[in-house]
Amino acid sequence: MTQNPYVIDQMISAKAIAARVEALAREITAHFRGTDKLVVVGLLRGSFVFIADLVRELDLPVEVDFLEASSYGDATHSSREVRILKDLRGEIAGRDVLVVEDIVDTGFTLSHVLHLLRARGPKRLEVCALLDKPSRREVDIRATWTGFEIPDEFVVGYGIDFAQRNRNLPYIGKVRFLA
């Protein structure tokens, strides 16, 4: 399969992302103050850069775990079929849990993941998403904390990919197809 050529226009600078991550960390730290250990669950793969920056800013004892769910593959739109590709290694029953997501789009993936995690009996279960596209929502779901609300654009960078490319960009960019 050949892909159309594309360019990437910067939407959110690395500096703006860093400032927002610091602010989110302060809010999350205040919310979970007093926890004996916060289990931070990164949704792979898109959240890995965000979670790394976020946990370094949290002033809390943290444990990091990962869950990989997919509803995109190499496409630019959700298939609406969520598959769990990697499950958590640790237990979350009775624990404070923060799910870290790269982007909330249709809401299908996040809804599926939260349903799965709630069934495991966490004490508290909250969500922090770097990006939110409310205009695309098909499932009634919201993150507790959101970095940036964006329009219905296909984006890459800061861990978010298009066909496994562009994760290494330090900013969030809009993909613009040329042909």
- pTM attached to this predicted model: 0.91
Tell me the two tokens of residue 13: 């600078």
Residue 105: CB partners within 8 Å, gap ≥ 6? 78, 133, 136, 137
For residue 151, which amino acid is it? P
pLDDT band at 1 (very low <50, low <70, confident <90, very high): very low
Give the DSSP letter of residue 35: -
d(CA 32, CA 39): 11
Residues catalogued as catalytic: 105
Instruction: Report the percent of the chain where pLDDT is more than 90.
Output: 85
**Window from 38-42, 51-55, 82-86, 109-113 with minimum mean pLDDT:** 82-86
pLDDT of res. 3: 65
Six token digits for residue 34: 């007093």
Longest dimension (CA), the chain: 54
Report the alpha-carbon distance of residue 79 to residue 72 in Å, rounded.
6
Average pLDDT over residues 137-148: 96
Peptide bond into 45 cis (omega under 30): yes
What integer is the mean pLDDT of 172-178?
95
In order of start, what are the domains of the chain with their CATH numbers? 13-151 (3.40.50.2020)
The rounded distance, in Å, linking the Cα atoms of 1 and 19 is 39
Q: What is the mean pLDDT of residues 118-147?
A: 97
| pLDDT tens digits for range 70-118 | 775 555 555 567 888 999 999 999 999 999 999 999 999 999 999 999 9
Torsion of CA 84, 49, 9, 105, to 10 degrees: 30
Across-strand partners of 157?
160
